[in-house]
Amino acid sequence: MKFASLALALLVVPMAGTAQQPNEIPTNLAGISTIAPPPDGFDPLTATDADLAYYGFPPRPNEDSGDYASWAKAMTASAERIVPTLVETNISHGPRVNAPGSTTDTDYSYNWSGYVKNGSAKSYGKSSYSFVYSDVTVPTAQQASGKCTGGWDYGSAWVGIDGDGSNDVLQDGIEFDAYCKGSTKDSYYSPWFEWYPFNEVRISGLPISAGNEYYMEVWSTSSTKGHAYLVNVTKKKSVTINFSAPSGTKLIGNSAEWITERPGVNGSLATLTNYGSQTYSDSLGETFAGSSVDPGNSTPIIMLDNNGKAISYPTKKSSKSFVMKVEGSAK
């Protein structure tokens, strides 16, 4: 496998394996770094665990589990590593806001829809979720049929750890927003990462458009150190981000999520984008102890609008894949 970069000068990095020089590159935002691309000929599928970490790749799943094939597919698609420009926003993807109506097998929320797996962790340790990932399609963003709100509607798809029963969320994903005012219509797409209660940070330089296949993964290496890895599988370009928890925040690892959300904007829940439908596939996660999780053994969540009516819901296709659809006032 051959790797390239938008910054070819960064290729002056020695092959990993033993003692190595630091490999992190500061970004334009303080405290957030990326990783220099690996040298030509580097193959993440045969690399050591130490070399994977050194070159900013997500940890290798257990090869005996069902997780490995989808990870390998994404690593193979990571042909070009970009050096990003980061943009702070007023958008936030916070913990689940519970809504009435939950049953023994379905939950309701005002901001989340998708699947959540709750674990047994009470503090960061072996029972904590260590990584979560999924492939997702980038939907076409528009406003609900017959509506023009005079501004932007917002939607995001993401994978994350924490947020259901804890006050933080470690996550990354894609944003798909729609604008309408008078006769003017527009749409906006961006990959992003976040460690709530920090806001979303957009990633400029990684291409994205409706119809693209995206791989998104987050993992932690301590209760205060997180990592995001996103791949535009269609364009075969990737980015890796290293970042820290907000002051006073520590990861628990007690929930794993695959979520389509209407985020908060300036502190209030946004109007959900009419995203039509959206497919999640190869949706998986693991604890530090090696236990695998997927939507098939998780709880489905239906999103409600401000009037308590359903607007976004999941339909399971298999244990590892599902389709999200809008309905009601969002459609």
Q: How many residues does the chain have?
A: 331
pLDDT band at 69 (very low <50, low <70, confident <90, very high): confident
Residue spans of alpha helices (H) in the chain: 49-54, 68-76
The residue range of the domain holding 34 is 4-330
Average pLDDT over residues 34-45: 93
pLDDT digits (tens, 9 = 90+) for 248-271: 999 999 999 999 999 999 999 999
CB 91 within 8 A of CB 264: yes
Tokens of 91: 């958008």
- C-alpha distance from residue 152 to each of 149, 173, 177 (Å): 7, 19, 7
pLDDT band at 62 (very low <50, low <70, confident <90, very high): confident
pLDDT digits (tens, 9 = 90+) for 273-331: 999 999 999 999 999 998 999 999 999 999 999 999 999 999 999 999 999 999 999 99
Please state the domain count of the chain.
1
Q: What is the pLDDT of residue 21?
A: 56
- % of the chain exceeding 90 in pLDDT: 88
pTM, to two decimals: 0.93
CATH number of the domain within which 36 lies: 2.60.120.700
Tokens of 257: 């999520």
Q: What is the pLDDT of residue 23?
A: 87
pLDDT digits (tens, 9 = 90+) for 200-248: 999 999 999 999 999 999 999 999 999 999 999 999 999 999 999 999 9
Tokens of 54: 């050194």
Q: What is the pLDDT of residue 63?
A: 76
Of residues 33 and 5, more confidence is placed in 33
